[in-house]
Amino acid sequence: MGRLIVVSNRVNPPSDASVGTQGGLAMALSAALREENGIWFGWSGQTTEAFTGHLSIQKIGGVTVALTDLEAQDVQEYYNGYANRTLWPLFHYRTDLVAFERSFDEGYLRVNQRFADTLFPLVEKEDLLWVQDYHLLPLASMLRKHGVNNRIGFFLHIPWPAMRVFQTLPKHRELVETLFDYDLLGFQTEDSLNAFQEYVVHAAEGEMLPDGRLRAFGKTIRAGAFPIGIDSEDFTAAATSDKALAFYNLMRNSQAGRKMITGVDRLDYSKGLEERFLAYEQFLNNHPRMEGEVFLMQIATATREEVNTYQELRARLDSLSGRINGEHATIDWVPVRYVNRAYRRDELAGIYRASHVGLVTPLRDGMNLVAKEFVAAQDERDPGVLILSEFAGAAAQMQAALIVNPFDRQAMAEAIAEAVHMPLKERKQRHEDLMRGVMAEDVVWWRNDFVAKLRDEGEVTPNGDTF
């Protein structure tokens, strides 16, 4: 059996130095790579004066990683540009924030080409390739031009947008055509899968075959929904570790009997943080008796700080949290604790466990792992309540949460009130339901399902057709 080669923008297998900070995805991919003697290929995070194509191959935490440097201009145009200023907002339905610049386009294709050029000499006949996320959409088509005939799969971690939204992207058709050089495309949800199928059928003159395969541009591929999970067992264990317990106690002691409503997000406009703050303010206005009885703990770790939109969002959130605190705080109560620093994973687990309510209210999200982590970290004897946006991919699997429309401020305010007052019996019932799904559909289930489908079905012919 061939090796597994995972390709992603950044490569982050767990090393001893990073224990406690790694996400479940990195853990799950690393485990597969260790088991299958695979390679994790991607950008080192470093820049060089001129691109050399040199690969640094090393073992980190038992995983072989192959890293390439990029030029500063590459990072600017490909990563900060096309990936994070064009595709990210577009795929999250924020056409108002999309920047189309020719240099971004060129940089994106150049970096994908550089990835393909440096990766292809490493590929052996039986290897299976698995490309991750929106940074690398056209990679397979460039590898095919190098004569790589191996199975190549692709998984999109973010939503695939509705057809008319996607069509606002210049050269949308060319981009989709490159996807037909994969053998298997994975989306987070049926919703994203359907949106992609709709584009293929209605905008690319393609067709869906009776067995679900998609045919267009003279090629046939498979596509499916593979909802990603977390490392559920480990996360549950982390929530009762010493470190988590210390954080749990710290939180509970600082709560003074008040109920804690918690949000944990990257500081990103897709996460609906402003709408969440405003809904919480609405809740305080609707329920003045709750003043002094609850507080919002929002952890929002800064990301993509080079991109203006993120700096502007941060400034708006600073001012909004300041305003809510200014209006509602008393000398012994602060309604919003707004924190921009990052915590270790086990510390986060302790914070989730000490929470009475988890607020996960993105405006759009491929999946949202925080929703699953929140559930996994609860004490089943006295579980907190999850409030979840209907626009998070996770909502499809987590209907036992309080599902809300994050654009409806009043409805969110009332969901907060309902969660704060929910009787123990109902909380336990909902949690049991949610926990069953989180444990069964974890990250290993996700990975195994995708890899098995990529490996097992059909022979791949040189022209990319699968029979």
Please give the residue ranges that form the binding site for ligand GDG (CB under 6 A).
Answer: 21, 23, 25, 157-158, 228, 264, 266, 299, 301, 342-345, 348, 365-370, 373
> Tokens representing 291?
């003043």
- Per DSSP, 204 falls in state S
**Annotated catalytic residue, options 133, 234, 365, 442:** 365
> Tokens representing 179?
């996807």
Nearer to ligand GDG, 51 or 277 (CB): 277
Look at the block and give the residue holding tokens 């030029």: 71
**Annotated catalytic residue, options 157, 328, 356, 431:** 157
Q: Single out the residue of 431, 230, 445, 260 nearest to residue 345, CA to CA.
A: 230
Say how far apart CA 335 and CA 281 lie, in whole Å. Answer: 9
* Cβ at position 62, least distance to ligand GDG in Å: 21
> Tokens representing 201?
């059928």
Got the DSSP string for 159-194?
A: PPPPHHHHTTSTTHHHHHHHHTTSSEEEESSHHHHH
> Under a CB-based contact definition with an 8 Å cutoff, are residues 277 and 326 in contact?
no
Nearer to ligand GDG, 342 or 396 (CB): 342
Let me know if 365 is a catalytic residue. Answer: yes
Cα four-point dihedral sign 456, 460, 464, 467 = negative
* Cβ at position 88, least distance to ligand GDG in Å: 9
> Under a CB-based contact definition with an 8 Å cutoff, are residues 122 and 5 in contact?
yes
Nearer to ligand GDG, 91 or 166 (CB): 91
Let me know if 265 is a catalytic residue. Answer: no
Say how far apart CA 116 and CA 136 lie, in whole Å. Answer: 10
* Cβ at position 279, least distance to ligand GDG in Å: 19
* Cβ at position 239, least distance to ligand GDG in Å: 12
CB contact set of 152 (below 8 Å; sequence gap of 6+):
129, 130, 131, 139, 140, 143, 181, 182, 183
Decide: helix, strand or coil at residue 83: helix
Nearer to ligand GDG, 206 or 362 (CB): 362
Cα four-point dihedral sign 114, 115, 116, 121 = positive
Nearer to ligand GDG, 22 or 220 (CB): 22
Strands 184-187 and 207-208, bridge-based pairing:
unpaired
Q: In residues, how long is the chain?
A: 467
* Cβ at position 269, least distance to ligand GDG in Å: 11
* Cβ at position 368, least distance to ligand GDG in Å: 5
Nearer to ligand GDG, 220 or 368 (CB): 368
Which residues are the active-site residues? 157, 365
